[in-house]
Structure 1
Amino acid sequence: MKVLLSIKPQFAEKILTGEKQFEFRKAIFRNNCVTSVVIYASSPLQKVIGEFDISKIYEMEPDALWKETADHSGISKEYFDKYFQGKMKGFAIKVGKMTKYPTPLNLEDLGIRTPPQSFCYVRKH
């Protein structure tokens, strides 16, 4: 099963180049059958640009999460701290094998009407 994640374009591009090997989240999907992530590059691009297999999901308090992922986070410590400010735990999705789509897709191509705030399950694709 796949999920679609809304990711800022600059971070989505870093994932596809391998510079960012973790996607950080404050909340995570509950379905254990999810094996891959479809990348929706949010505004201003607003396109589905690729996908990656989930290698592992880390769940821990933010300081420990940063220590585990910092070398391949693709973001600054300042950005990380601001994102997780006030949170007792955070999640990091480890990027596995990735695929950049030769032609970006629209959400409608996946049967999705509006971009998710966090994530949504992908039924079509």
Structure 2
Amino acid sequence: MLSIKPEYVEKILSGEKRYEFRRRVFKRMDVDTIVIYSTSPQQRVVAEVDVVGILESDPIDIWKKTRDKAGISYKAFMAYFDGVDIAYAIELGPVNRYPQPRLLSSYAEVSAPPQSFVYVR
């Protein structure tokens, strides 16, 4: 499960944003689906998305490879990766939007919104 700002969640759901950027990513290699938690003000689990792959490189290289489907401005991207040598871009596949957003409490493994991510199921 990843915590994502509502503005980026909407871009993922619309297909405009095909990459989710992270300063660190999960260590488990078997992660093939991301459960999307939309942060405040929505504070609901809204969808699942398939993981196609993960790119790892310096921020400039990641931007060059993903900018057409980044769903984020260059300025915001660079601000997020300021001071970091390695950036990660999770390539997103098909999205399954839940008909009804779910409460975080419906996931036994999660007691609070993830700071970055948390493993579920």
TM norm structure 2: 0.98
1:44 paired residue among 38, 41, 44: 41
Distance in 1 separating the partners of 2:83 and 2:68: 23
1:110 to partner: Cα distance: 1.4
Q: Does 1:73 align with 2:70?
A: yes
1:19 to partner: Cα distance: 0.6
Structure 1 spans left out of the alignment, 5+ residues: none
After superposing on structure 2, the runs of 4+ consecutive aligned residues of structure 1 that deviate more than 4 Å are none
Q: Determine the structure 2 residue equivalent to 1:117.
A: 115
Post-superposition CA distance 1:15-67 (Å, at most 9, x none): 01101000000000000011110000001110000010001100000000000
Q: Does 1:12 align with 2:6?
A: no
Distance in 1 separating the partners of 2:26 and 2:92: 16
Q: Determine the structure 2 residue equivalent to 1:27.
A: 24
Structure 2 spans left out of the alignment, 5+ residues: none
Report the residue type matching 2:62 in the other structure: L
Distance in 1 separating the partners of 2:14 and 2:46: 12
Report the residue type matching 2:89 in the other structure: A
TM norm structure 1: 0.94
Post-superposition CA distance 1:65-121 (Å, at most 9, x none): 000000000000000000000100100001111100000001111112200100000
Q: Pairwise CA RMSD of aligned residues?
A: 0.5
Q: Does 1:63 align with 2:88?
A: no
